[in-house]
């Protein structure tokens, strides 16, 4: 299995079905924090739910329609990033993220998402990467902004989560805009190019 360093103590790796117990333990630690906006917290209510969720992304990966990656900090799963959708016909994909409190404030999500965007554009020739988040999810909007994305608009009350309808912000970045000319969260000129994700073998 490949592992991409995000920091001296953090790695980005595929999150697979055999991680179900570890994934459930991670969700249990941050269930309320994660579940404010992310449906994972409700879907992975027990071990069977965790396996089903990870299996669904294994199916997406096999069909080249999505992928799931975990972020490990000091050997402990603390969050992850994903291609929620991946459409090579239109050249458009949507990325997203989640995190438990222990992984927050370290820049891990932004670094991991840069890796996903870079692979989508450089490795796979995609044209557009999208980011969709609840309008009141300020940390998520901040990540999109740090990634150099453009806020395109708001879908009013478009997402029903835990009985509440959220407005959704839509952000995007195009291949010709990547990488951004500036990296607001880091000192200009010091940002390394993200390490590429290995290209999957056919049918994997």
Q: Looking at residue 197, what is its pLDDT?
A: 67
**Predicted confidence band at 121 (pLDDT cuts at 50, 70, 90)?**
very high
Query: Is 170 inside a domain boundary?
Result: yes
CATH classification of the domain holding 144? 3.40.630.30
Overall average pLDDT of the 168-191 stretch: 73
Angle between helices 108-118 and 138-146 (to 10 degrees): 50
Domain that holds residue 45: 4-177
**Predicted confidence band at 196 (pLDDT cuts at 50, 70, 90)?**
low
Query: Is 163 inside a domain boundary?
Result: yes
Query: Is 183 inside a domain boundary?
Result: no
Q: Specify whether the CB–CB gap between 166 and 112 falls below 8 A.
A: no
Dist. CA 161–CA 1, nearest whole Å:
34
Strands 92-99, 128-134: pairing kind: parallel
Q: Looking at residue 201, what is its pLDDT?
A: 42
Burial class (CB within 10 angstroms; exposed 0-12, middle 13-18, buried 19+) of 109: buried
Query: Is 188 inside a domain boundary?
Result: no
The total domain count for the chain is: 1
Dist. CA 150–CA 65, nearest whole Å:
24
Q: Using CA atoms in the order 115, 119, 121, 122, what is the torsion angle rounded to 10 degrees? A: 110
Query: Is 88 inside a domain boundary?
Result: yes
pTM of model > 0.85: yes
**Predicted confidence band at 200 (pLDDT cuts at 50, 70, 90)?**
very low
Tokens for 8?
């001296």
Q: Looking at residue 40, what is its pLDDT?
A: 87
Q: pLDDT tens across 76-103, in order?
A: 999 999 999 999 999 999 999 999 999 9
Overall average pLDDT of the 50-59 stretch: 97
Query: Is 104 inside a domain boundary?
Result: yes
Stated as kind and residue range, the H or E segment containing 155 is strand 150-161
Dist. CA 64–CA 66, nearest whole Å:
6
132 three-state secondary structure: strand
Query: Is 114 inside a domain boundary?
Result: yes
Q: Specify whether the CB–CB gap between 129 and 94 falls below 8 A.
A: yes
Nearest to 138 by CA among 65, 43, 37: 37
Overall average pLDDT of the 61-78 stretch: 97
21 three-state secondary structure: helix
pLDDT over 60 (residue 203):
no
Query: Is 193 inside a domain boundary?
Result: no
Q: Looking at residue 190, what is its pLDDT?
A: 36
Dist. CA 160–CA 128, nearest whole Å:
26
177 three-state secondary structure: helix
């Amino acid at each position: 299995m490949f592992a991409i360093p995000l920091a001296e103590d953090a790695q980005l790796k595929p999150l697979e079905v055999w991680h179900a117990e570890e994934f459930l333990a991670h969700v249990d630690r941050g269930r309320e924090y994660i579940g404010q906006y992310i449906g994972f917290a409700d879907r992975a209510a027990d071990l069977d739910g965790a396996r089903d969720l990870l299996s669904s992304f294994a199916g997406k990966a096999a069909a080249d329609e999505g992928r799931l990656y975990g972020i490990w900090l000091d050997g402990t799963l603390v969050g992850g990033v994903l291609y929620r959708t991946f459409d090579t016909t239109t050249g458009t994909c949507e990325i997203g993220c989640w995190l438990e409190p222990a992984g927050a404030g370290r820049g891990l999500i932004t670094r991991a998402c840069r890796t996903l965007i870079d692979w989508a554009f450089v490795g796979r020739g995609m044209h557009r990467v999208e980011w969709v988040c609840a309008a009141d999810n300020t940390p998520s909007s901040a990540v999109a902004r740090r990634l150099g994305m453009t806020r395109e608009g708001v879908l009013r009350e478009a997402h029903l989560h835990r009985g509440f309808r959220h407005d959704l912000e839509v952000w995007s970045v195009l291949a010709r805009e990547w990488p951004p000319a500036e990296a607001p969260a880091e000192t200009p000129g010091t940002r390394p190019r993200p390490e590429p994700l290995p290209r999957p073998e056919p049918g994997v």
